[in-house]
């Protein structure tokens, strides 16, 4: 199901300090069946009080294109305790699609452009899988709803783009991403599945197991009911 990773050797990564936080058990789930534990994993864009669901994808990946509308529907079922983020698998510092993704994200145009790029590559053949930056930007200029001035400014900010590219690459590296699309939850659980439906079903189970109520139930001694609420 997974597309092969492109080479990620172009970055000189800083040594990442391993994170050895104690992993709470996931009630009713089995490592190697629903998920693979990521040693030393950490969220891509952590937010206090939220369980992060991160998708690592590539616009050239036809599996990602097929998966995207299914994922879009599934995201609407996430509880308030979860947040979804997407990031591209970066092939090199000049990766045209990755640069356009981050420029679109920074300019508030991603919701419009994201599905349109998949269609242009895999359905209408308006863009090649290995596109140059000028080809992609010429296409973007024709897409209605893109905030053109903000997008152009974001694309021209090379320092900011390289920082985002590096951050995405580091996340993919430390998460040991096997291919695209991949889902990583809380930076620690790589979701497993034999097909798109099972991938999403298992992701839902992990999110549910990490929900605040589930974590509280896991911490209570077996057989001990929750403390009664005081009466007013």
Boundaries of every domain in the chain: 35-219
Looking at 3.30.300.30, 1.10.1380.10, 3.40.30.10, 3.40.50.10280, the CATH number of the domain 35-219 comes to 3.40.30.10
- Residues 106-120: tens digit of each pLDDT: 999 999 999 999 999
pLDDT of residue 212: 81
Average the pLDDT over each of 3-7, 20-24, 182-186, 193-197 and give the range with the smallest value. Answer: 3-7
Q: For residues 209 and 82, what is the distance between their CA atoms, to the nearest angstrom?
A: 12
Kindly tell me if the per-residue pLDDT of 229 is higher than 70: no
pLDDT of residue 6: 37
For 76-90, b where at least 16 C-beta lie within 10 A, e where not — what string?
A: eeeeebbbbbbbbbb
Residue 232's pLDDT band, with cuts at 50, 70 and 90, is: very low
Mean pLDDT, residues 223-232 taken together = 56
Q: Which residues contact 55 (CB under 8 A, 6 or more apart)?
A: 71, 84, 85, 86, 87, 181, 182, 183
pLDDT of residue 10: 31
Mean pLDDT (the chain) is: 87
pLDDT of residue 224: 56
């Amino acid at each position: 199901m997974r597309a092969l990773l492109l080479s990620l050797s172009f970055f000189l990564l800083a040594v990442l300090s391993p994170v050895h936080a104690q992993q709470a058990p996931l009630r009713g789930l089995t490592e190697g069946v629903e998920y693979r534990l990521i040693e030393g994993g950490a969220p891509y864009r952590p937010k206090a009080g939220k369980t992060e669901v991160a998708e690592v994808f590539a616009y050239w990946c036809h599996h990602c294109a097929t998966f995207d509308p299914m994922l879009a529907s599934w995201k609407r079922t996430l509880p308030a305790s979860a947040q979804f983020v997407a990031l591209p698998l970066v092939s090199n510092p000049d990766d045209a699609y990755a640069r356009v993704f981050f420029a679109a994200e920074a300019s508030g145009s991603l919701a419009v452009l994201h599905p349109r790029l998949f269609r242009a590559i895999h359905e209408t053949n308006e863009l090649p899988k290995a596109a140059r930056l000028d080809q992609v930007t010429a296409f973007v200029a024709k897409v209605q709803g893109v905030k053109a001035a903000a997008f152009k400014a974001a694309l021209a900010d090379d320092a900011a783009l390289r920082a985002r590219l590096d951050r995405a690459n580091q996340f993919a590296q430390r998460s040991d991403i096997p291919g695209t699309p991949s889902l990583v939850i809380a930076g620690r659980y790589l979701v497993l599945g034999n097909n798109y439906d099972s991938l999403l079903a298992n992701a839902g189970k992990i999110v549910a197991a990490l929900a605040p109520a589930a974590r509280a139930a896991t911490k209570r001694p077996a057989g001990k009911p929750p403390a009664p609420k005081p009466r007013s």
